[in-house]
Amino acid sequence: MTKIKNKTVLITGGANGIGKLLGERCLQEGAKALVIWDINEQNLQNTTAAFEAKGHQVHPYLVDVSDLSDIKKAATLTLSQVGRVDVLFNNAGVVVGKYFDEHSHEEIEKTIRINVLGVMHVARAFIPEMMQQGSGHIINIASASGFVANPKMSVYASSKWAVLGWSESLRLEMERVAPKVRVTTVCPSYIKTGMFEGASAPILTPLLEPKVIVNDIMRAVKQNRIMLKAPWSVNLLPFLKGTLPIRVFDVVVGQGLNIYSSMAKFIGRPQTEAIPEKTSKDLEMDRE
């Protein structure tokens, strides 16, 4: 079982939302050090100050996970200044709530860079030390969107399908070459953090309370669970998709459970809370 006490934890997108709550929980459970990577400098400063005021050791880094050179630079600094990372939460992500033809090329590229390439490159930066040490845990925040298509989520869903496939493949590889390096994939539905503001909860799939899903994630990490799907109804999607004809699935599940209309009134976080100009130029994105 993975223990948080006396471990060094790194969380991408860790200055806000689920990332911040995960950091708080890890510190409460005795993490030796918390490394926060985030693109929003103000949130990074505020979160660091709040945690340090409680006597915790925090190492903030301003990092753009859509930029490979930024990842490499931050990883080098983290390893030299803090040391090996024991637990890595790949949490940073963005969403664009538009039909595909309404996306700009820049929005498409930015989503894939952050949600897919960023996740892979961050893991690649820290996994060698985990393998050499013979222990470590990588937690990849994917999405229930990795199991089902959805209008106005084409690029986001594709990015999460990619993360799901990569994360599961990584798990299988580690089980062969470094069995004590664990990989957990987290697939939640909509969470009440503001990232999916305006999205409506599908039938049988209520909006997730942030603290509840954080509790679920922490429990899954401690138990070395392979995958966490939340809420429980997400577990039905792979089965229904695999057994029902596509058109029947569209009608019974997609339309009948209101999944396909869940993004109809998507708003996202207010622009005042959006990611800084450095990574949001010409974009209407929001961070997890």
Assess whether 99 carries a catalytic annotation. no
Q: What is the dihedral of CA 183, 94, 61, 181, to 10 degrees?
A: 0
Nearest one of 136, 146, 117 to 183, comparing CA atoms = 136
Cα gap 160→44, rounded to integer Å: 25
- How far is C-alpha 244 from the chain's CA centre? 29
Q: Is 264 left (phi over 0), alpha (psi -120 to 50) or beta?
A: alpha
From the candidates 61, 156, 190, 260, which is the catalytic residue? Answer: 156
Interhelix angle 154-177/105-112, rounded to 10 degrees, is 20
Residue whose structure tokens are 């080098």: 76
- Catalytic residue numbers, as ranges: 156
